[in-house]
């Protein structure tokens, strides 16, 4: 296995670890997610610290999504782009609460294919997918319906980001939430900088980016002193 394949494999493994840790918190009643169990092959109980950490992670993400929806006129449809989505189940939580939302997930093809196959096995998840025709889903390799679109993309190459999103009917004029949950840290610094810059340049309407990333205490203190971090 060459270094690029090894790096890709290591990054993908983190999504299984995250899903397992989230399910541990769900099983102990920290928060509700009836769909996550389908994506975890082996249930493991994590330590109290990890359970609380993942609860805080999910609660913070959901809070900021709700705040964004409250800030937007009800007549406007909203887009959500989950960058490096992995096995995350936010799409289903969103569709239990809100209408007229178009949800995009960006990740490696093989991980999205695995996720597609799992979703299509369970009626309670398939029922959230909206198609123009009843039989349209049979011909798709990855989920690509009206309200849920899986986009295979290597995030280290942001030059094709605009073109690829447009091919999936993304509208840069609509209010949009971008989610980066433990993904930027796995990109080259230049790649992550270019990605965020590209997003800010492309969006023509109200948008926000919700970022949850690992941060060492040393970097946190340095940024706090520079007033880069205010809260």
Which residues belong to the annotated binding site?
57, 84, 154-155, 181
Nearest-angstrom CA–CA distance, 139 and 152: 17
Nearest-angstrom CA–CA distance, 33 and 11: 24
- Show Cβ contacts of residue 43 under 8 Å, excluding neighbours closer than 6 positions: 20, 23, 24, 27, 37
Distances in Å between the alpha carbon of 17 and those of 36, 72, 221, 230?
13, 34, 28, 30
Give the residue ranges of the annotated binding site for S-adenosyl-L-methionine. Answer: 57, 84, 154-155, 181
- Show Cβ contacts of residue 158 under 8 Å, excluding neighbours closer than 6 positions: 191, 194, 195, 198
Helix (H) or strand (E) holding 65: helix 48-71
Nearest-angstrom CA–CA distance, 35 and 122: 9
| Closest-CA residue to 80 (of 176, 195, 212) | 176
Residue 82, both tokens = 């989950």
HSE of 91 in the Cβ direction (CA atoms, 13 Å)? 32
Dihedral angle at the C-alpha atoms of 118, 9, 197, 63, nearest 10 degrees?
A: 50
């Amino acid at each position: 296995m060459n270094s690029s394949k090894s790096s890709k494999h290591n990054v993908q493994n983190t999504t299984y670890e995250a899903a397992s840790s989230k399910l541990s918190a769900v099983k102990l009643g920290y928060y509700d997610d009836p769909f996550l169990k389908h994506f975890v092959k082996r249930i493991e109980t994590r330590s109290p610290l990890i359970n609380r950490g993942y609860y805080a992670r999910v609660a913070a993400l959901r809070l900021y999504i709700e705040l964004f929806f409250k800030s937007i006129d009800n007549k406007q449809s909203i887009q959500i782009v989950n960058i490096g989505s992995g096995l995350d189940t936010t799409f289903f939580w969103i569709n239990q609460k809100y209408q007229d939302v178009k949800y995009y997930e960006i990740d490696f093809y093989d991980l999205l294919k695995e996720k597609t196959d799992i979703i299509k096995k369970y009626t309670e998840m398939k029922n959230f997918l909206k198609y123009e025709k009843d039989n349209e889903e049979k011909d798709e390799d990855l989920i690509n319906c009206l309200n849920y679109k899986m986009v295979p993309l290597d995030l280290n190459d942001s030059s094709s980001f605009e073109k690829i999103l447009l091919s999936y009917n993304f509208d840069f004029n609509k209010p949009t939430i971008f989610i980066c949950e433990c993904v930027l840290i796995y990109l080259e610094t230049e790649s992550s900088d270019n990605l965020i810059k590209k997003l800010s340049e492309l969006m023509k309407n109200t948008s926000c980016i919700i970022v949850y990333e690992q941060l060492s205490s040393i970097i946190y203190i340095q940024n706090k002193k520079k007033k880069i971090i205010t809260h």
